[in-house]
Amino acid sequence: MIYRDTRRALIDAAAEVIGRRGVEGASTREIYQLAGVTAPTLYHHFGDKQGLLDAVVTDAFERYLATKRALPHSGDPAADARRGWDTHVAFAQANPELYQLMWPLGQAALPAAAAESAGELEEAFTELGNLGYLRPGMTPRHAARTVSSALRGVTAAIIREPDDPGNQALSATVRDAVIDALLVPVASRSPATGSPAGTDFDQQRER
Domain co-membership, 202 together with 175:
yes
What's the rounded Cα separation, in Å, for the pair 204 and 207?
A: 9
pLDDT tens-digit readout, 95-146? 999 998 888 876 667 777 777 888 888 998 999 899 889 999 999 999 999 9
* Beta carbons of 95 and 200 less than 8 angstroms apart: no
Paired with 196 in beta bridges are: 189
Is residue 72 classed exposed, middle or buried when 0-12, 13-18 and 19+ CB atoms within 10 A define those classes? exposed
Q: Is residue 110 part of a domain?
A: yes
Q: Residue 10: pLDDT above 70? A: yes
Total residues belonging to the chain: 207
For residue 176, what is the domain's CATH number? 1.10.357
Q: What is the CATH number of the domain that holds 3?
A: 1.10.10.60
Provide the Cα torsion 24, 59, 128, 105; round to 10°: 10
Whether residue 111 is contained in a domain is answered as: yes
**pTM as predicted:** 0.80
What is the domain range of residue 129?
59-207
Same structural domain for residues 3 and 78? no
pLDDT of residue 202: 31
> Helix (H, G, I), strand (E, B), or coil: what is residue 134?
strand
DSSP classification of residue 39: H
What interhelical angle do 28-35 and 39-46 show, nearest 10? 100
User: Using CA atoms, how far apart are residues 64 and 60, in angstroms rounded to an integer?
Assistant: 6
Rounded-to-integer distance, Cα 28 and Cα 17, Å:
9
* pLDDT value of position 115: 79
Q: How far apart (Å, rounded) are the C-alpha atoms in residues 109 and 111? A: 7
41 and 92 part of one domain: no
Q: Which residues contact 73 (CB under 8 A, 6 or more apart)?
A: 80, 205
- Asked if residue 52 belongs to a domain, the reply is no
pLDDT > 70: what percent of the chain? Answer: 86
Average pLDDT, integer, range 185-194: 57
pLDDT for residue 203: 32
